[in-house]
Structures are given as structure tokens and as C-alpha cells.
Amino acid sequence: MKRREFMKSAAVFVSGAAVSVSALELLDPREVLAKNPDLRWGFLVDTHKCVGCGMCVKACKIENDVPLEANVTRTWVERYVMTKQGEVFKDSPDGAQHGYTTKRIDQNHSGMKDVADEDITQAFFVPKLCNHCELAACVQVCPVGATYSTADGVVLVDRKWCIGCGYCIMGCPYGVRFFHPVVHTADKCTLCYHRISKGGNTACAQACPFGARKLANLRDPNDPVAKIILTQRVGVLRPEYGTKPQCYYIGLNEEVR
Amino acid sequence: MKKHVWRPLFVVIALVVGILLFRAFYVPADFGIQERGYTFGYHRLGNEQEWKNFPEKYKGSAYCADCHEENSASLVKSGHGVIPCEDCHGAAFNHPESPEKLTIDRSRDLCMRCHVQLTMPSSQRNDLPGIDPQEHNVGMECADCHNPHNPSLEDM
């Protein structure tokens, strides 16, 4: 083989090999434009209204077959207690599935912390769940296409496709993912996709007596919850990660992470 | 080209064809790039329907009120009117067929979820009537004195 010939065939081979198989699956522009423009699920949490009863956590676990006794949960409630001395204490015993029934704050290894009533400046509860991010970090790291965003903005896990590598559990900045002890795949809040896609409410929002959790269709200008998100002062958790979380909070402050 | 070039090339070609064949059979037709594009929407479309078919357990208070009108009406009038039936009575599942009877949680622990007095100045918890569980009628069930459907002692 002459040098010229070799160079020619090498160039042809390299350029051919560069076009990988997946790149040959061309995007259909109609498919891209067919994004459902009328529906984008969002969530609103009012931390002023939450009393820490934990009924949302219990309802979520029962609704979604997450074992009550397992130390994993799709949603949980955190308690924050700030003192005059500038200390911040937080806890979430068992994800608050039994509620908060004591003033003592669970500090894990250092035991239970007693904070005197007169020392407390701020104290409140913050319910947490999957933020169903617009640019979800957990979805991008999945090596097999098992976790994905639906057109209406819900992040789901395909249990048949998940290989249980745990990248998404590490990738989520909010720690909302866990390894399901029964199904043995990654698991997370589905925003009760089975309920909301039939016109229902999420189990957690339905179980909340005080309306601290609310489901919203962010694309519907007449949705009262979407109106609050659009017109009131709401925050999101860890905006610095750039994941564009779609779970909005009323009454956040900087101690909440 | 000579034999020593073709032979390994055949092996490579066979491997590629084998992998492509395996992929064609193993990967379902609906797996691929969906609406959210390659980065966020690369998945098996059928899985969305699988999640939609997941069974519902909590049916909502309106479902209860269809049959238990009286209980539902009395609860709504009371201070506990905001509490969904299933928070205390348990998820309906397929009641009345299965289970035929729901197990009501009448425990002190359930009431304590809201009614232990905690100092929570930035939360609605502060506005709820609260007790100290170590002081308030220790060992008794709340329901012995308070009617859960009409908890105010003045109305009793």
C-alpha cells in the first residue's frame, strides 16, 4: 500500500467511524416542537403553614409502596431551630413520618439537643421532595437512559431499565434519590404521576391538612397556585446549582439548604 | 489486502454486526430520544404509561363523603374540618370491597403529631392548641375525652 493510498483510506475510515450510530438517529423537528405547551407541573410549599405533622410523609410512603420502616423516603420534613446565640439546629427524625412530638432536636451522634424556649428566635418546618428540575442533574448522569424528564416536566425512573449504578443518587444536589430496598433500583418522587395525570392531586398534598403543599400547572395562567408562583415572592432550593428546580417555597431563608 | 489484515477485520465486522443485531432485538422500539431531547428525554416511552398505571391508594375525602355523608358533614363543621379523612382512617385502597373495614388510628401518637406544644415562632404550629405530653393526662387516650370529629371540649 502506498503512503498516499493509506492516508486516503485512513481519512475515509476515521470520518466514517466518527459518525456514531446514535448520531444517525436524526431528531425529528416536529417531535421537538411537539412539547406539550399547555402543561408543566410545578409544586409550591408554604413553610409558614407546615406544622410538622408528617402526614404527607406517611401518605407518600403508603401511596408509593416505600416501606414505612425503611430509612428512605421520597419526601420528608425538616425542622429548623435558630437561637439567640446564632446557632442553627435542624433535624428530621425518620423523615418526620411520625411527626414532631418532642422539643428535643435529634443531633445524631451527639444525641438529643434541648433548646430553651426563651433562646429560640426562629423555628419552622420545611417539607422537601424532588424539585423536578428543568435541567435535572440526575437525568444527565444516567448512563443507560433509565431516568428521564417527561414532556410535562416530571422526572421519572424506568425500573425495568435502571441498572442500579447509583450515579443519579450521587448526582442529585438535593439528596432526594435513594436505592429502593424492595425494587432494587434508584427511586424518587414521581410527583404521584399516576394521580396527577388522571386529574388528581399528589398524595402528600392531599394528606396535608393545612395546604402547605400544592401542585401547580405552571403553564396555566388561571391556575391559582401557578399565579402565586408567578406573582409572589417565592424561592427555590440551591439555585446556584443551575438545575432550575420547579418546586417553589414561600418563607425560605438562607439557613435552609 | 493480505490475509493477516482480513482475518481480524472479519472478527471486528462480526462483532459489530452481532452487537447491532442484539441491540435491535433487545432495545424496544419506543426507546430513544423523546420530547425533552437527547440530554433529558432519552428513554423508553412506554415507561411513562407504566407509571400512569400505578395503583392509587388514597382516594380523597370526597370519595369518603359519597357514602359517609353524616360523618363527613359533622367533621367539616368542627375545628378538625381541614383534616382529610384518610389521615386518621387510613388509606381507602379499594374500600368498601377490599379492605371491607378500615383501621382507624385512635392513638395518642397520632394526635401528638399536631398537638404537642412546641415553640415554633415562625410556623403555624405555634397557633395550634398544644399540650405537654408528660403532664397532660398521661396514659389516657385523647379520644376518651375529645371527640376527634368535634374536638372542642366546650361543645361536648
Query: What is the 3 state secondary structure string of chain B?
Result: CCHHHHHHHHHHHHHHHHHHHHHHHHCCCCEEECCCHHHHHEEECHHHHHHHCCCCCCCCHHHHHCCCHHHHHHHHHCCCCCCCHHHHHCCCCECCCECCCCCCCCCHHHHHHHHECCCCCCCHHHHCCCECCCCCCCCCCHHHCCECCECCHHHC
- Is A78 within the bounds of a domain? no
- Is B20 within the bounds of a domain? yes
CA-CA-CA-CA torsion sign (A101, A104, A106, A109): negative
Long-range contacts: B115-121, Cβ < 8 Å, 24+? B115/B142, B116/A100, B116/A101, B116/A102, B118/A52, B118/A100, B118/A103, B118/A123, B119/A103, B119/A117, B119/A120, B119/A123, B120/A51, B120/A52, B120/A123, B120/A124, B120/A125, B121/A120, B121/A121, B121/A122, B121/A123
Q: What is the pTM of this model?
A: 0.87
- Is A141 within the bounds of a domain? yes
Is residue B55 within 8 A of residue B49, CB to CB? The reply is no
- Is B155 within the bounds of a domain? no
DSSP state of A235: B
Q: Does A38 touch chain B (CB under 8 A)?
A: no
pLDDT at A15: 80
pLDDT at B154: 73
- Is A178 within the bounds of a domain? yes
What range does the domain containing B23 cover?
3-52
Probe site for chain B from A27, A51, A196 (most B CB atoms < 10 A): A51
Probe site for chain B from A94, A148, A157 (most B CB atoms < 10 A): A148
pLDDT at A10: 83
Rounded Cα–Cα distance for residues A214 and A227 (Å): 12
Q: Does A39 touch chain B (CB under 8 A)?
A: no
| Contact call for A206 and B48, based on CB within 8 A | no
**Shortest CA gap B93–chain A (Å):** 9
Percent of chain B with pLDDT over 90: 92
- Is B133 within the bounds of a domain? yes
- Is B156 within the bounds of a domain? no
- Is A183 within the bounds of a domain? yes
Quick one: B45 and B68 in the same domain?
no
Of residues B42, B47, B116, nearest to A156 (C-beta):
B47
Q: Which residue ranges of chain B lie beneath pLDDT 50? A: none
Structural domains of chain B, count: 3
CATH number where A159 lies: 3.30.70.20
pLDDT tens-digit map of B48-92: 999 999 999 999 999 999 999 999 999 999 999 999 999 999 999
| Contact call for B118 and A103, based on CB within 8 A | yes
Which amino acid is residue B25, in one-letter code?
F
Q: Does A185 touch chain B (CB under 8 A)?
A: no
**pLDDT (tens place) for every residue of chain A, 257 residues total:** 788 888 888 888 888 777 655 555 555 544 444 455 789 999 999 999 999 999 999 999 999 999 999 999 999 999 999 999 999 999 999 999 999 999 999 998 999 999 999 999 999 999 999 999 999 999 999 999 999 999 999 999 999 999 999 999 999 999 999 999 999 999 999 999 999 999 999 999 999 999 999 999 999 989 999 999 999 999 999 999 999 999 999 999 899 98
pLDDT at B75: 93
- Is A127 within the bounds of a domain? no
- Is B39 within the bounds of a domain? yes
3-class secondary structure, A108: helix
What range does the domain containing A149 cover?
137-187
Structural domains of chain A, count: 1
Quick one: B101 and B59 in the same domain?
yes
Quick one: B128 and B96 in the same domain?
no
Is residue A171 within 8 A of residue A140, CB to CB? The reply is yes
Of residues A122, A201, A211, nearest to B122 (C-beta):
A122
Quick one: B61 and B81 in the same domain?
yes
| Contact call for B122 and A251, based on CB within 8 A | yes
Quick one: B61 and B40 in the same domain?
no
- Is A115 within the bounds of a domain? no
Instruction: Please give the C-alpha separations between residue A211 and each of A44, A82, A100, A179, in angstroms, as whole numbers.
Output: 10, 25, 18, 30
| Contact call for B123 and A139, based on CB within 8 A | no
Beta bridge partner(s), residue B43? B32
- Is B33 within the bounds of a domain? yes
Rounded Cα–Cα distance for residues A182 and B87 (Å): 25
Probe site for chain A from B5, B13, B42, B107 (most A CB atoms < 10 A): B42
Quick one: B101 and B111 in the same domain?
no
Quick one: B48 and B60 in the same domain?
no
- Is A59 within the bounds of a domain? no
| Backbone conformation region of residue B37, classed left if phi is above 0, alpha if psi is from -120 to 50, else beta | left
pLDDT at A29: 45
| Contact call for A158 and B43, based on CB within 8 A | yes
